[in-house]
Amino acid sequence: MLHLGHVSGGYDGMPVIEDVCFSVSKGEFFGILGPNGSGKTTLLKMISGLIACTDGSIQLNNKDITDFSRKELARKMAVLPQLSAHAFSYTVRETVALGRYAHNLGLFQSWTSKDEKVLQMVMEQTNITRFQHDSVQQLSGGEQQRVFLAQALAQQPEILLLDEPTNHLDLAYQKDLLDLLKKGAKQQGLTVISIFHDLNLASLYCDRLLLIDEGRTRALHTPDGVLTEALVKEVYQTEVKKHPHPEIAKPQMHLIPADMFSADVKIDASMLNVKQEHITLTSPIPLRTLSSGVCGAGIGWNSYFVNRQVSKDYDCSDPEHEMRNYLEKNEFDASRTVGMMTAVQLEDVAYGLWGKDHVSLFTVVTAGVGNATDSTRTTGTHRQGVPGTINIWLFVNGRLTEEAFIQAIMTATEAKTKTLMELGITDSETNTIATGTSTDSILVAATGKGPLLSYAGSATKLGQLIGKSVYRETKRAIQRSQGLM
Ligand SMILES: Nc1ncnc2c1ncn2[C@@H]1O[C@H](COP(=O)(O)OP(=O)(O)OP(=O)(O)O)[C@@H](O)[C@H]1O
């Protein structure tokens, strides 16, 4: 639909855009990214015909844009400019109605019922109907932004050009506006070309991104292809971390603020508090965690770790909610706590600091095996009223990659299973060696200090510490709970 072939252009003979080529198809949501002054607005002005190309050509539906009259072009393309501090003397309704200009013979003279219908529709869509008789001047920046979007939509263009459309909008309106544009693209085939400063919004909504730097194309691809840590660092001169969005398959870039480094912290027994009711560990800094606890499960940052004793017939339809109430009652901030439950006597806990020098590990285990299961054979129907959960906490005094977190869990699970095998713990349903219990939980937490540990398999120092410590501490915890130590 729109094709830019080797386009160059700028101001007063000074080139800003150089040799840019790309095509945008009908119904595509296309994002333009780049640092301040890289030429994004200039490129948008060239597409809308406001600035002429000094080289190359811009074609709309196979016709050079210079061959369209201004009014013809306005029926095809609408522009939502960056909001500036102009004085707007029109009312909201009048401002939006100006968008129908391209469809009329003269301003307001031939106002038709179709114009009125479109006007009402776009004011509804942008949620500005209630301000329609107010002066644009008296609206907030975000409200004005929506008025000008309504004006652009009233043009009923094939292509909508937007310069940072979410500027001035609060979180909900940012989402509403971009949802509206996406819907327009998907359902009505509206082609959206938009400048973004927010890489994450661009990633969420755009089908493809163009990254420009000093007026030249640096990358043109899907969000995943353009938003790489290396490219963003090079173009924006700033450190970022790439992470997948938790709900949809789009990348998100996280800034890393300077001066966020806190003092070195080593997690050890001095931070552990064993009581009859619960075992707690309080870290002076938030730790990066991966856990299967009742609370604080998944990936997160936590400072408090609670292993709470519950009666063996604890039965609750919403254990997470109940646990949160418990944590709050005991003055733990539930949003920063990993909480687990066990029915074993907490004084039977086994723990120890393993390793020294570059990496060390503080391992804490509570273990009951009354509920031991062989995961390869159990049908899950056989349950005993005997306490039986193995809760393993691994505090790594080091910095872990995500794969190291996952491998730490694998290595710990292998070591736990080996302990059960050596102690001859069996599944009472299948009469075979148990692999764990049906309600085991695990936590891996890391201080994030020191050299990066990329792996935690048994070939690494960390993996060996995990294997040995989980094996030993689980064995001691089981033997204690069985009254053997
Ligand atoms: N009207 C103008 N006359 C002369 N030079 C201009 C004009 N407008 C912009 N420039 C220059 O062109 C370059 C690119 O500006 P442009 O506004 O296109 O960048 P941008 O990527 O949109 O920046 P930002 O992210 O800050 O909005 C800058 O060096 C700017 O100073």
Residue 482 CA to residue 425 CA, distance in Å, equals 11
CATH number for the domain whose boundaries are 2-255 = 3.40.50.300
How far is residue 384's CA from residue 281's CA, in Å, rounded to a whole number?
30
* Residue located via tokens 């050890």: 268
Instruction: Say how many Å lie between the CA of residue 464 and the centre of ligand 1.
Output: 57
Whether 453 is in the pocket of ligand 1, judged by its Cβ within 6 Å, is no
* CA neighbor of 291 nearest in space, from 405, 444, 413: 444
50 lines ligand 1 (CB under 6 A): no
Residue of the nearest CA to atom 10 in ligand 1? 11
Mean pLDDT value across residues 379-407: 85
Whether pLDDT at 113 is above 80:
yes
Per-residue model confidence as pLDDT tens digits over 219-274:
999 999 999 999 999 999 998 999 999 899 999 999 987 766 566 789 999 999 99
- 108 pLDDT band, cuts 50/70/90, is low
Tell whether ipTM is more than 0.95.
yes
Nearest to 182 by CA among 155, 162, 198: 162
pTM value is: 0.80
Cβ atoms within 10 A of the Cβ of 187, count? 9
Across the range 187-214, mean pLDDT stands at: 96
Measured CA to CA, the distance from residue 316 to residue 324 in angstroms comes to 13
Give me the chain's average pLDDT, please.
90
- For a ligand 1 pocket test, name from 14, 38, 43, 82 the mutation site with the most ligand atoms within 8 angstroms of its C-beta: 38
Query: How do the domains of the chain map onto residue ranges?
Result: 2-255, 269-481
Ligand 1 lined by 211 (C-beta under 6 Å): no
Residue 72 contacts by C-beta under 8 Å, 6 or more apart in sequence? none
Say how far apart CA 474 and CA 471 lie, in whole Å: 5
**Largest Cα–Cα distance of the chain, in whole Å?**
97
Query: Among positive and negative, which fits the CA dihedral 143, 144, 145, 147?
Result: positive
- Fold match flag (2-255 vs 269-481): no
End-to-end, the C-alpha distance of the chain in Å comes to: 78
- What pLDDT, in 10s, does the model give residues 312-341? 777 777 888 999 999 999 999 999 999 999
Q: What is the dihedral of CA 228, 231, 233, 235, to 10 degrees?
A: -140
pLDDT at 109: 63
For the Cβ of 45 lying below 6 angstroms from any atom of ligand 1, the answer is no
CATH of 269-481, one of 3.40.190, 3.60.70, 2.130.10, 2.60.40: 3.60.70
Q: Which two tokens stand for residue 259?
A: 């001066």
- If you measure from the C-alpha of residue 251 to the centroid of ligand 1, how many angstroms do you get, rounded to a whole number? 28
